[in-house]
Amino acid sequence: MAVVLITGSSTGIGLATAAALARAGHDVFASMRNPDRSTELRDLPVSLLRLDVDSDESVRDAVGQVLTARGHIDALVNNAGVAFLGAVEELHLDVFRQTMETNFFGALRTIQAVLPSMRERRSGCIVNVTSVAGRIAVGSQASYTASKFALEAATEALAQEVKPFNIRVALVEPGVIHTAIFDKLPEDLPPTLYPQQARIRALFAASLRNPVPPSVVGDAIRGIIEGDSWQLRYPVGPDAEPFLQWRAAMTDEQFIDYWANPDDDAWYAQLQRDFGLDARPFRQVRSVSRGI
């Protein structure tokens, strides 16, 4: 039985991971900013914990509570995250800062808080949940993909640093998973000069016609924690590896041209040919902004 600390456990992948590990008999500390609002985990044998990954003090306090209660942490799952859509020109810098604060620095805070005890025990497992967007950058997702690219790079460096201390590190890279993060996107497109936001939203909607539940990712994370593999990257979900192969089949310049194509009709037709996704039913007419 492992003592596991999970961030961002109120919904989606974090909730599913907490449930999968608790049902498997692990000692789960499911953390979130507002545990009082959590209802879905109350019937499971988990300990709810208040933790805001944006706060140094909150992270120190939460990790300290687990160490005081159990004496050690066997596994950390960094899942807390936020996502915003918007072109680089049109998205306020504060959104970039907020995204990096939660998705990148938030993970670093928890890692730095748990590492000393793991290193002293020469045992531990750190799982960072990124995304296929941690390896594929698409227009209108710059703030999100930048944070995930950064976390991928830091995690790869971390794996080199801590392996001599017998600490395993893994990156879980989900594809399009049916979570609340998509429900938080506004229904109507804001005015924009750029077509990529409408295209990526349509791609998401087409993918979600056959929704993949977050339990798929939760089960994968449970397998990593219970196993002994030193594998670094785990694409998860039926479309994760195909998305990565789709990107790898193009040069950088081809991929840029693919998404930069000014002809929407041609773009949607090409997406269906190349990836088998008919996103045209979800196409939204965008109003064109006059600039910032």
- Taking the C-alpha atoms of residue 6 and residue 121, their distance in angstroms, rounded to an integer, is 20
pLDDT confidence tier of residue 285, bands split at 50, 70 and 90: low
Would the CA dihedral through 75, 104, 102, 141 be positive or negative? negative
* Average pLDDT rounded to a whole number, residues 83-103: 97
* Average pLDDT rounded to a whole number, residues 109-138: 98
Predicted local confidence at residue 38, as pLDDT: 81
CATH class of the structural domain 3-181+211-248: alpha beta
Q: What is the residue whose two structure tokens read 């798929």?
A: 216
Q: What is the pLDDT of residues 1-13, one digit of tens each?
A: 999 999 999 999 9
Q: What is the pLDDT of residues 225-238, one digit of tens each?
A: 999 999 999 999 99
Tokens of 122: 């020469």
* Average pLDDT rounded to a whole number, residues 211-218: 97
Is the pLDDT at 68 greater than 50? The verdict is: yes
Query: In terms of C-beta density within 10 A (0-12 exposed, 13-18 middle, 19 or more buried), how is residue 94 classed?
Result: exposed
Predicted local confidence at residue 291, as pLDDT: 45
Tokens of 225: 């924690």
Predicted local confidence at residue 292, as pLDDT: 39
Q: What is the residue whose two structure tokens read 């140094």?
A: 56
Predicted local confidence at residue 42, as pLDDT: 83
* Average pLDDT rounded to a whole number, residues 238-266: 96
> Are the C-beta atoms of residues 205 and 282 closer than 8 Å to each other?
yes
Strands (E), 87-212: 124-129, 167-174
Tokens of 196: 């990529």
Average pLDDT, the chain: 94
Q: How far is CA 94 from CA 2, 22, 99, in A?
A: 38, 37, 9
Q: What is the pLDDT of residues 19-35, one digit of tens each?
A: 999 999 999 999 999 99
* Average pLDDT rounded to a whole number, residues 106-110: 98
The model's pTM is 0.94
For the chain, domain boundaries = 3-181+211-248
3-state secondary structure 55-88: CHHHHHHHHHHHHHHHCCCCEEEECCCCCCCECC
Q: What is the pLDDT of residues 137-163, one digit of tens each?
A: 999 999 999 999 999 999 999 999 999
In this structure, of 7-16, 81-90, 187-196, the range with the lowest mean pLDDT score is 187-196
- Taking the C-alpha atoms of residue 116 and residue 63, their distance in angstroms, rounded to an integer, is 11
Percent of the chain past pLDDT 70, that is, above it, reads 95
Predicted local confidence at residue 209, as pLDDT: 92
Known catalytic residues are 144
What's the count of helices (H) and strands (E) in the chain, helices before strands? Answer: 11, 7
Predicted local confidence at residue 24, as pLDDT: 98
